[in-house]
Chain A
Amino acid sequence: MNDKEIIIKKDMFAPAHIDPSKSEKISKPSLNFWQDSWLRVRKNKGAVISLIILGILIIMAFVGPMISPYTYDNQNTKHNNLPPRIQGLENVHWLPFDGTLKRRDGTEYNAYEVRKVDAYYWFGTDNLGRDLFTRTWKGTQVSLFIAFMAALVDMLIGVSYGAVSGYLGGRTDSVMQRIIEVIVGIPNLIIVVLMILILKPGIIPIIIALTITGWTSMARVVRAQVLKYKGQEFVLAAKTLGASDSSIIFKHMIPNMFGIIIINTMFSIPSAIFFEAFLSFIGLGLQEPNASLGTLVNDGFKSMIAFPYQMIIPSIMIALIMICFNLVADGLRDALDPKMRD
């Protein structure tokens, strides 16, 4: 709005020529849904940090057991219940990696020196002398695997069920929804416990138990979205063009629901992890010598007072994974939620 003193010459009043095709030009670069969402997620620092932490944890879950000199099931009863000791950090006394334990009367002693053990166990050992570093990462592997599989199956069953129910509508929809209500009405825990008792504990049975009832919330959410999209004009347009029902569901509706589906799946992972830990805690988890974070916590619980590190370390892992997934899911929800677009 500043009045730049451009000399106004008479010839400036000649008609100018405007290229009409320029008027339809779009100058901004084209961003598709994923690029656009990533830009938004990047702005949420909590989500980005959590993603990095999760990335590190997942990498370590595979790399950890490989770099450790011990295996996860190798027992060495002479070296049982040793506290964590890491070469190089053992003289830093405010870190918990110096190999010391507290006696009941409060005095500290170096367990390794006292028992004349000349080895290093980075996270210590459990009551059977197995290296906890290896076991913890192995356990993380297993817990993450169970959680991802459970979330994946939940998603597949939930999306299909919800999409069919919402799209068909009418009687079919009513019946399908009533079935969900029955499933949701029965206490989840009872079903899971029954499943484990019938199938006997193991990775696959646990996944089945988790997914038997976990898909219902995804189904409801997807159904709600399908109902919303059914009346939208782009779906009606596809119908008038002659698109088939499956084409409408898979080409038109579901791609628009990716955001919601991803978010729901993300949120279901921490609950799957926690649930598995819970099952282990009540004794229905994996059997020896297999480790999952839940079984580690359960084992560690037994010697909580004397050897707290045995429970603390896997607990921290569980907490860290759950918090990070929740923060990432939260960040994704803000980024992918269309209502919050500028």
Chain B
Amino acid sequence: MFTYIIKRILLMIPILFGITILSFGVMHMAPGGPAEAQMEFSSKASSEARERLRILYGADQPIHKQYATWITKFVTLDFGVAFADGRKVKDKILQSLPITLTINLLSLGLVLMIAIPIGIMSATRQYSLLDRFTTIFVFVGFSTPSFWLALLLIYLLGVQWGVLPISGIQSLGIDGIEKWSWRWLLDVGAHLVLPVFVSAFTGLAGLSRYMRNNMLEVLRQDYIRTARAKGLPEREVIYKHALRNALMPVITILGLAIPGIIGGSVIMETVFSIPGMGQLLYQAVFSRDYNLAMGILVPAAFLTMLGNFLADIAYAFTDPRIRLR
């Protein structure tokens, strides 16, 4: 087991290296560095000023030197400053992370609450009317362009009926209200309803289908037949024997969902004008803000890998065949 863990940790190093090289390389391939992106609007800026900015950002150095400078700082958790406003990347991220995290944790909670029962029910009653209905329901969610649904809901609920706020995370006059008071919570909560609902609905299919297929697979196992044969009530067979074994892989794929969540946040936060990580990344890409973009991507990629790593370790604990391979 110990050697397996060590091997698995060593495997993460080239992946992490690859992630930094690929994201760094792709961003630097783009024509026009941060200096050009910043000066685009002031055509009067002299080439001299431009050159000074380039030197300031280190953009005059060859790319491998820029990468070396960046990564030596990065491993000491120094993410540098954002080119756009000179603020620390770490501060910018810490400011917008709670917003994105709140929305996605709420929507993940909603998804788990719906997907697991749906998965169990449609597996235990495969091809029943209920199974067909939930299949269509989750596939409709999966096939819906999230921004389109968001747009229609904003129009209907926000503009036409005026029951929900349509953008941002709090009302304009909210600053006077005490944080964490009931009125504040209610206001922020109302702003979160649409983003959370839309991302939960469009993200439901993955988990519920995965749950259904795992459950179908488990229900065909010998130990389930044994449990039934020794006369256990069906409830106990399904919720005690089958569910536990079917749930495990579902928990472990959550780590792989992180890149998708960031990608989804880019779109959701644009539609609802929410100042979160997605918007930050979007702005970083377009202003060629390497420090900011890498500061978001690399920790996210690291978390994804960590999720995978923990999942593999958990598997190896339960299944000795894996660690012997």
Interaction A to B: no
Question: Which B residues contact A (CB, under 8 angstroms)?
Answer: none
